[in-house]
């Protein structure tokens, strides 16, 4: 006799898009527990034995659960802070927060939070500041002092690579003094810090004073649930947390929360390489791997090579930035990167590498070529993350060296107009985020949002890759567009391949996890320009059904 957990449920749908090349479309899918028994017609699937027929999706489309291969769970926790972004954004409750179109609007929203806070010592924490949208306005400490001179105030940039703070925050961090000699702490004419902090080394000096303890943000219980709710709303069943310090207390918290019966998302969390030796981070990843659960996957490493394009902190090859800005920041040395690669290859630890600028991509490739001579590996799947400026020659090297590429497809929509005029100029903007080149050169491809840098939403990301349209409606680099089918592959099997999980997720077929996105319309029938408008009802994750309206 079957237990309730072993009951076979057969779901009927208007159409099931399996992403299984040998069985691409079905009408029914059979599920037992958290696994798929098969997809096909009712007669075929009834051979598994007694079943319960479930018609709730009879008018829906079932697709493989979407896989967000580059995101950060801190997006959930950030919704407790003040949204200061330029673009409209939907929170986990489905509320749309209007984008702020001027510095005055940003200060007004922060001032509203100041009035709401009951604790007189509580910081004012904001996120998604994007100075390039306001003509490069500096947002110096004097601007934020108009909001509060008594509370510490910090606003994280949209890129996550810079922060602006007020005078009180600098004072609490011991930075409000003459003689500061830190290349990433700019000084004003008065010799004091301006309030802008560039890169993690500078930001960490004030993070705890302004509410941005990264480890706590990543494992915050309410934040994890908020992040999972965003996943359900977007059809995402597996999402990454791709740069977490992962101290023991954070791991314990994440295991507990993701292990709750109704937690609807599988999280893949990577240990960030920062302020430690390569040997220590690789050993830590190996130990973390032993603690993995079905809903929390551990054991990989994330290394950040450079900064952001729109923040002018990414590393570009000659001729550099189009507007003449100085080159960006290095976060690791070549020697550190090569040692990390060698140890990771030796111990079969996968590494994800943040590289925005093409000079950073060169470093990633050069060090890998050296490391593979010492420790050849047939299937390492190290993944270059963002890889925004890579050209065709670099993609050919990626293929030769066994890299995957997870391309930041959303970037053209949010910053494409600025890339044309300010960061890289017209010619390089056409090749940015070159999904077509990656596929043409045979590099395994995924695409991503980097939430909270841009909004979580795999169908929106697929739309970006298929259209390459900017906010103003320009199409930049039409020859780098990919088809709807290729974009959908990139957010399912493509992304799962970069996580070494394509044997478990990414398609609806026998033996795989019962992870499905429940859609209102068939994305394969949508025009490329309409892909982002395909409605999401919710998900089936591990055989459990979650509606976006009730999660």
Consecutive sets of 10 residues in the chain, 551 residues long: mean pLDDT of each?
Answer: 70 98 98 98 97 98 98 96 97 96 98 94 96 92 96 97 97 96 94 96 94 85 97 98 95 97 98 96 98 98 97 97 96 98 98 98 98 97 98 98 98 97 97 98 98 98 98 97 98 98 98 98 96 98 96 88
Packing angle of the helix pair 358-374, 392-401 (nearest 10 deg): 20
111 phi-psi bin (left φ>0, alpha ψ -120 to 50, beta other)? alpha
Structure tokens at 230: 């965003």
Please state whether beta strands 35-40 and 25-32 pair in parallel, antiparallel, or not at all (unpaired): antiparallel
The answer to whether 11 and 500 are in contact (CB under 8 A) is: no
The predicted pLDDT at position 4 comes to 47
Q: Is the separation of the CB atoms in 460 and 68 below 8 Å? A: no
Tokens of 44: 């075929």
Q: Which residues pair with 52 in a beta bridge?
A: 9
What would the two tokens of residue 262 be? 């109704």
| pLDDT on residue 219 | 83
The single residue listed with the structure tokens 């779901």 is 11
For residue 287, what are its two tokens? 């130990």
CA torsion through residues 478, 465, 162, 115, sign: positive
Residues 58, 81: Cα–Cα separation, whole Å: 40
Query: CA-CA distance, 39 to 481, in Å (whole number)?
Result: 31
Angle (CA) 227-513-261 rounded to 5° is 50
Nearest to 91 by CA among 127, 133, 52, 40: 127
Residue 297 makes CB contacts below 8 A (sequence gap 6+) with 266, 267, 268, 269, 499, 501
Helix axes 358-374, 334-346, angle to 10 degrees: 40
The answer to whether the beta carbons of residues 18 and 39 sit under 8 Å apart is yes
SS3 of 53, please? strand
* The pair of three-digit structure tokens given for residue 549, joined into one six-digit string: 């309206």
- 241: tokens are 């947390």
CA distances from 418 to 312, 317, 332, 423, 479 (A): 11, 19, 27, 7, 20
Phi, psi (5° rounding) for residue 273?
-85, 105
pTM for this structure? 0.96
């Amino acid at each position: 006799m079957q237990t309730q957990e072993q009951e076979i449920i057969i779901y009927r749908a208007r159409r099931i898009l399996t992403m299984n090349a040998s069985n691409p479309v079905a009408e029914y899918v059979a599920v037992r527990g958290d696994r798929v028994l098969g997809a096909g017609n009712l007669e075929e699937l009834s051979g598994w034995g007694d079943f319960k027929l479930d018609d709730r999706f009879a008018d829906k489309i079932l697709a493989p659960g979407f896989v967000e291969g580059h995101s950060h769970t801190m997006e959930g926790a950030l919704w407790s802070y003040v949204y200061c972004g330029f673009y409209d954004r939907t929170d986990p409750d489905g509320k749309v927060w209007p984008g702020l179109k001027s510095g005055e609007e940003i200060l007004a929203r922060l001032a509203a939070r100041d009035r709401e806070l009951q604790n007189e010592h509580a910081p004012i924490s904001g996120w998604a500041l994007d100075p390039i949208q306001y003509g490069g306005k500096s947002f110096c400490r004097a601007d934020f002092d108009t909001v509060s001179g008594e509370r510490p105030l910090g606003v994280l940039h949209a890129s996550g690579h810079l922060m602006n703070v007020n005078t009180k925050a600098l004072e609490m961090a011991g930075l409000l003094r003459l003689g500061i000699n830190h290349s990433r702490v700019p000084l004003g004419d008065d010799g004091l810090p301006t309030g802008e902090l560039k890169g993690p080394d500078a930001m960490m000096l004030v993070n705890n004073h302004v509410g941005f303890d990264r480890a706590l943000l990543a494992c915050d219980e309410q934040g994890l649930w908020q992040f999972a709710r965003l996943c359900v709303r977007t059809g995402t069943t597996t999402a990454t947390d791709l740069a977490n310090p992962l101290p023991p207390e954070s791991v314990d918290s994440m295991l507990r929360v993701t292990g709750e019966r109704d937690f609807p998302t599988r999280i893949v969390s990577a240990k960030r390489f920062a302020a430690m030796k390569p040997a220590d981070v690789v050993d830590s990843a190996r130990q973390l791997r032993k603690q993995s659960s079905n809903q929390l996957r551990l054991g990989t490493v994330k290394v950040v090579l450079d900064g952001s394009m729109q923040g002018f902190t990414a590393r570009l090859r000659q001729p550099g930035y189009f507007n003449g800005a100085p080159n960006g920041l290095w976060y690791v040395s070549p020697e550190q990167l090569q040692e990390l690669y060698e140890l990771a290859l030796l111990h079969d630890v996968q590494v994800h590498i943040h590289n925005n600028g093409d000079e950073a991509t060169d470093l990633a490739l050069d060090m890998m070529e050296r490391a593979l001579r010492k420790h050849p590996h047939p299937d390492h799947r190290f993944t270059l993350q963002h890889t925004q400026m890579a050209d065709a020659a670099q993609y050919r090297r990626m293929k030769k060296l066994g890299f995957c590429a997870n391309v930041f497809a959303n970037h053209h929509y949010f910053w494409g107009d600025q890339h044309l005029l300010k960061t890289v100029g017209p010619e390089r903007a056409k090749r940015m985020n070159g999904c077509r080149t990656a596929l043409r050169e045979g590099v395994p491809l995924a695409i991503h949002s980097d939430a909270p840098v841009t909004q979580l939403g795999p169908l929106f990301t697929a739309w970006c890759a298929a259209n390459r349209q900017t906010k103003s409606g320009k199409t930049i680099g039409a020859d780098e567009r990919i088809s709807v089918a290729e974009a959908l592959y990139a957010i399912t099997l493509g992304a799962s391949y970069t996580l070494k999980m394509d044997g478990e997720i990414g398609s609806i077929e026998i033996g795989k996890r019962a992870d499905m996105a429940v859609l209102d319309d068939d994305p394969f029938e949508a025009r490329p320009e309409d892909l982002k408008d395909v409605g999401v009802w919710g998900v089936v994750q591990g055989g459990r059904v979650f509606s976006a309206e009730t999660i």
